[in-house]
Structure 1
Amino acid sequence: MAGAVQAMLREVMDIRQAAEYLGISGDTLYRYASEGFIPAFKLGNRWRFKKSLLDSWMDEKSGVKPQPATGLTVVAPEQKKPVRRAL
């Protein structure tokens, strides 16, 4: 359990750690990195992933925009779903 927590706190992760962080398989993450779909870089011949870049990428893909002054996040209006009223 402590190893999983340490992996989540690392800024630079290997493919196994990043796949666990994102909740996808290592094979899928390798394919995404190779295709340039996800932010990654190679150190030698191995893929590496910066946690901060992955977080920004996920925010961008989900339509969440961070508010720098407050630290709160705001969802873009076009991403919001209509709320149904109770009858």
Structure 2
Amino acid sequence: MDDDIITIREVAEYLRLKEKTAYALVAKGEIPGFKVGGSWRFRRSELEKWIVRREGNEADRS
């Protein structure tokens, strides 16, 4: 199995969020994800890129 694809539970653990918060963020389109058979899936590499972009945005505000 390709461990680059992770579940919403794994995203919540990875980002240290509650699952409910992860669901809310992905529903708003703030976290990159896609649905497979009604379940959210995420590419770990895309989440890492998203984190880097977020870090860049925070640095711009300082």
Q: Quickly name the TM-score band, shorter chain normalised.
A: 0.7 to 0.9
Where relative contact order (Cα < 8 A, 6+ residues apart) is larger, the structure is 2
Number of residue equivalences: 58
Query: Which structure is higher in helix share?
Result: 2
1:57 Cα offset (Å): 0.2
Shift in Å at residue 10 of structure 1? 2.0
Q: CA deviation at 1:18?
A: 1.0
Q: C-alpha separation between the residues in 2 aligned to 1:21 and 1:14?
A: 10
Could you tell me which amino acid in structure 1 is paired with residue 4 of structure 2?
Answer: E
Higher Rg: 1
Moved over 6 A (4+): none
Shift of 1:62: 0.3
Among all aligned residue pairs of Structure 1 and Structure 2, give the percentage whose two residues are the same amino acid. 36
Correspondent of 1:30 among 17, 23, 36: 23
Residue of structure 2 in register with 1:75 after alignment: none
- Matched residues in 2 for 1:37 and 1:53: separation? 12
What runs of 5+ residues in structure 1 fail to find an aligned partner?
1-8, 65-78, 81-87
- Aligned mate of 1:46, from 25, 39, 44: 39
Normalising by structure 2, we get a TM-score of 0.84
